[in-house]
Amino acid sequence: MDFFSPPAISVEPFLDLFTEGESTTVSGYFTIYVNKNTQMEKLNALGIDSSKAKLLTKKLNKFLSNYSIFYQNYRGYQWIIKGEKFFKLQLKFEELYNDLFLKIDVVAERVLTLISTPNHNYGNYRKTPKIKESAQNRGCLVAAGAILAAFQTIITLQRELLILSADAGDIGTTALMSDYFRF
């Protein structure tokens, strides 16, 4: 369960105990306002609307696919780079692909937290990404251009996730995406 999200509690079975328009405070934490004419939202265990959580996990899996392809490309650049900046770039590429590796794991865990299954194989990753697998090009400038284009895609996806997660009231995903802007 996400640390910042309160547990979801279904109050539907208890609605008959209250009269229309009545309110009550439960354990000092939240107030229930009874309106029997309003359909209650279907919330998941994190208190997030289930349909919004489903859309969010679909977008997170798309993000995960792009991050995974980006990671693989990055790792490849580190392995095969040639040129006058070889030593500096090889170290920098290794630092960044290790960072990507950790972030991929956190995104997959976030999908699990939202009660879904993260994509976890390259067959699925290759179906949805905006970032394409890199051809084996050993030039520094080509690699740098591909990395900048990939970061542009990643930032666009992060912004979309920030909007979706804020709309869903998913504080955990919102915090995660805003933290990732600090690469």
Residue range 41-85, pLDDT digits in tens: 588 878 889 899 999 999 999 999 999 999 988 888 888 777 777
Q: What is the pLDDT of residue 36?
A: 46
Q: How far is it, in rounded angstroms, from Cα 78 to Cα 28?
A: 55
Instruction: Please tell me whether residues 55 and 36 are part of one structural domain.
Output: no
Distance, in Å, from the CA atom of 98 to the CA atom of 76, rounded to the nearest integer, reads 12
Return phi, psi of residue 33, to 5°.
-105, 125
d(CA 85, CA 97) in angstroms, rounded, equals: 18
Do 29 and 54 share a structural domain? no
Q: Is 84 in the same domain as 55?
A: yes
Instruction: Provide the residue range defining the domain that includes 32.
Output: 1-40
Least confident of 33-37, 89-93, 98-102: 33-37
Task: Tell me the three state secondary structure of residue 152.
Answer: helix
* 74 bridge partner residues: none
Residue 30 has what pLDDT?
43
The H helix count followed by the E strand count for the chain is 5, 2
| Residue 45 counted as domain residue | no
**Band of pLDDT at residue 140, cut at 50, 70 and 90:** confident
Q: Has residue 5 been placed in a domain?
A: yes
Report pTM.
Answer: 0.72
Residues 33 and 54 in one domain: no
Q: Specify the pLDDT at position 78.
A: 80
